[in-house]
A and B are shown apart, each in its own frame.
Chain A
């Protein structure tokens, strides 16, 4: 359970997170959506304690973040994947994934840690790379290694309390198979009674897998709730500043979002996004 109350944070003159409040209940994937610069990564960083809010409160399992910061217990139930990986040392794939188990053992890993690491490496298709130097892998392979690391961190038996998985654009660099594998794994993790909060850029992935959506625009929540009930052509076109249409077809359980199908109304909405109408890419 994540509770955010009146959260404010000033990034720059152009971007302020203004009194955000929302609850994220365990049991499903919550996707944060929004255009570049809407404050998605900042929000993840605030909730995971990388940045400190100017005002407001964040509670994880009903305990304030400040409480969690002073214990080492948080690392055992919450894992975070950031956008950039800046590793310089030539660790092997398995050594990196094993780092996800660090909060669970003192100095040497146990049999159980090895078993969990092997398992997540299988799931993300990096098992055959296990002895390779991470620095020599492709971008997508490295991304999968770090995903395996954060999954390893929150795998294993639960104490009954919800665990947390935070991911900032985890599908970066991933091919289609692995994008879907990833969200599938995240979904089954969530359904065991855990919270998954993920920043996504691909609206179709969000529609297909997310149980809950937070749509951000310039630091405010524009809409939140179940994707199929809150998302509309007009809302999306306005927030993203580009004509977006939600299409339902009989072949597909989920609606599909297509970009660039211009109706006059959508054009107008998209251009409302820009203060100076001449900046609108659709009119030019």
Chain B
């Protein structure tokens, strides 16, 4: 029964995502109506459809809109999937990928890159800023993970506390560099911290593709294990879950996809926290559905947020982190108050 409903939910979510992708590609200073969109896509698919678009539309779509929307899809899917997996692993609905230090480590690395001027450089088409922040994200995640290993076991409470401590430490580092920054650097830092999909390129899309897609498709394979883990680690082990292996894989995969996302888009808050909550409200806590719906809804949310960010006050652009927080925070408040009511019987 619920199983069938969840299939329908997944179909609806996919349709919503496709619709938002079409909007994201079509709406802007140069409008590309669905007919033109279709005509451009048909041209590249090699189908002989009568052309219904202009050259300007074609180049705007291919060079600007498409990579930007696709980047939004990948980043949104990563953040939401990793959020759902983390919440399952930590058995805590407040967990978020930032907890293992990925975002703060990436921030520190980004600030260092901006301050040293390295962010203007390019390595094989990828901006040095992306490469440096990705490295920073992975290094902090590994440090946090190593600290939490005691006698060959990952102690989740230590992992959380180590994450908080490392977040504070990298935060202090970031603050120190920010203090020493000049006005131009300060502006770059602030914009990076608030997140943006502006200036997306095909190279970026291709660059993060493996790092984001592999985790997003791997997480649902661990859904049953995460369900069992919600009982607790000992009980999951009694249900045949290789607990240590699952923990290691989830931390590694999350660090990988969140690190890749942060490296191209900056810090985008609240997606990883809110999306799994929204889904649990309608589809229940079963990770077999949650880990499939999360990337779809996460992508949809980010594509929508980006569309809003660049069109609401156009030609000015809002930082996307501001938009996701504006949408996410009230939704979270609503869910939290409702959840508390449902937990107190009578």
Contacts and interface: CB of A to CB of B under 8 A. Distances in A.
Contacts of A129: none
B338 to A, nearest CB: 11
Contact of A89 (B230, B237, B241, B288): B230
Nearest to A96: B231
Interface stretch (B120-128, B279-287, B299-307): B279-287
Contacts, number: 73
Nearest to B240: A75
A89 B238 contact: no
Interface in B201-239: 224, 227-228, 230-232, 234-235, 237-239
B239 A92 contact: no
Nearest to A136: B345
B93 A100 contact: no
B230 A102 contact: no
Contact of B232 (A49, A72, A86, A92): A86
A107 B239 contact: no
Interface stretch (A17-25, A77-85, A174-182, A258-266): A77-85
B342 interface: yes
A49 B286 contact: no
Contact of B240 (A74, A95, A107, A135): A74
B230 A103 contact: no
B91 A88 contact: yes
A220 interface: no
Contacts of A89: 91, 93, 230, 280, 285
A95 B343 contact: no
B284 A107 contact: no
Contacts of B337: none
Given A88-B92, A95-B286, A133-B342, A79 B238 contact: yes
Nearest to B221: A107
Interface in A134-152: 135-136
Instruction: Give the interface size class of chain B.
Output: 20 to 34
B270 to A, nearest CB: 20
B342 A99 contact: no
A102 B238 contact: no
B240 A86 contact: no
A136 B224 CA distance: 23
Contacts of B343: 90, 135-136
Interface in B298-346: 339, 342-343, 345
Given A91-B284, A92-B284, A136-B342, A50 B234 contact: yes
Contacts of B242: 72
A74 B227 CA distance: 19
A194 interface: no
Q: Which of B93, B230, B280, B343 has the most CB of A within 10 A?
A: B230
B234 A82 contact: yes
A92 B2 CA distance: 11
B240 A103 contact: yes
Contacts of B286: 91, 95
Given A50-B234, A88-B93, A135-B343, A103 B280 contact: no
A165 B285 CA distance: 28
Interface string A29-56: 0000000000000000100111000000
Interface of B: 91-93, 224, 227-228, 230-232, 234-235, 237-242, 280, 284-286, 288, 339, 342-343, 345
13 contacts: A45-B234, A86-B231, A88-B91, A89-B91, A89-B280, A90-B284, A90-B285, A90-B339, A90-B342, A91-B285, A91-B286, A102-B239, A153-B239
> Nearest 3 CB-CB pairs, A to B?
A75-B240, A89-B285, A103-B240
